[in-house]
Structure 1
């Protein structure tokens, strides 16, 4: 054990420093996402979804940097990552709407002006929709029509269509008047 520690002391110290650094970065990114979520009054489940995305990003960065730290050459690491991303890219190209909806969900987390409980009208020339936002998921919105019908509307389409606010959720307005 002592031989292992002495022969790999630089790699072990780099690994420890990298893990501490990435944990601090992860903490700061989650704190920033939480602050944006609270300031924008975003539902906690949507904030937790951002936490998952942050965890995946930090894990990929850690895998790349730790591979470099333990002696895997830059060309080998870049070959592995480019191969993995090429396979993922081909798979996602086949189902591009999933990637588009996830990206739209991230954009909506930071800059979507409507909240859960708001009644909106989507100005779609084929099928106009007037409904209350029941939930905002990673891939789609759950909209409830006045008739009680549940509509799932893709996130990428909600960003492409004109949307009007019909009625703001009264619970949000009541809380702001108290301040």
Structure 2
């Protein structure tokens, strides 16, 4: 056992440093995302979802760094990874909308042009049920919108970024109600 430790001491030390740095970065990033979520008054479920994505990214980077540190034969690993990525690439190309909706969900989290509880109007001529909506939930793939008549509409995140969206303030709604009287 001592021979193995002596023989691979550089790799073990480098691996320990990489793992420590990744754990610290994940902790700091998670703390920052939670702070952005609380300052912006965002839903806790959305915050946890973004933290999951970031943690997955850090884990992937740590695995790549460990593979490089331990000197895995790149030719053999390259063959395996290229086969895996070819299959994943075909699957993602076939399901590009899922990836674009997840990306749009992350953009919506950090840009927060609107939040849960806001009343919005989507300027989309293809949307069959036009009118005002209240945002009930913002998920990874879609947004739950509630019409005034109680109808629930799910709208994809990538479309909400592509279409013009008007956030309607409560003052406008109160003025419209007083005008009708």
| TM band (smaller chain) | 0.7 to 0.9
Q: Please identify, of 81-90 and 140-149, the stretch whose mean Cα deviation from structure 2 is larger.
A: 81-90
Equivalent residue for 1:136, pick from 135, 138, 144: 138
Q: Output the TM-score relative to the length of structure 2.
A: 0.85
Corresponding residue of 1:39: 39
Please say which structure displays the higher CA radius of gyration: 2
Corresponding residue of 1:162: 164
Equivalent runs, 1:96-175 vs 2, <5 Å: 96-127=96-127, 128-167=130-169
Alpha-carbon distance, 1:134 to partner: 0.4
Q: 1:22–1:80: structure 2 CA closer, same or farther, 3 Å change rule?
A: farther
> Distance in 2 between the 1:166 and 1:133 partners?
11
Listed one character per residue, the Cα deviations across residues 54-93 of structure 1 (whole Å, up to 9, x for unaligned) are 1110111111111111121455555544443333222110
Q: Secondary structure at the match of 2:149?
A: coil
What residue ranges of structure 2 are gaps of 5+ in the alignment?
Answer: 171-181
Corresponding residue of 1:95: 95
Corresponding residue of 1:177: none
Q: Secondary structure at the match of 2:71?
A: coil
1:49 and 2:53 are equivalent in the alignment? no
What residue ranges of structure 1 are gaps of 5+ in the alignment?
Answer: 169-179
| Alignment root-mean-square deviation, CA | 1.7
Corresponding residue of 1:176: none
Q: 1:76–1:29: structure 2 CA closer, same or farther, 3 Å change rule?
A: farther
Listed one character per residue, the Cα deviations across residues 13-51 of structure 1 (whole Å, up to 9, x for unaligned) are 111111001111112221221222122221111110011
Alpha-carbon distance, 1:149 to partner: 1.1
Structure 1 runs of 4+ with >6 Å offset: none
Query: Is the 8 Å Cα contact of residues 144 and 151 (structure 1) preserved in structure 2?
Result: yes
Corresponding residue of 2:28: 28
Q: 1:82–1:29: structure 2 CA closer, same or farther, 3 Å change rule?
A: farther
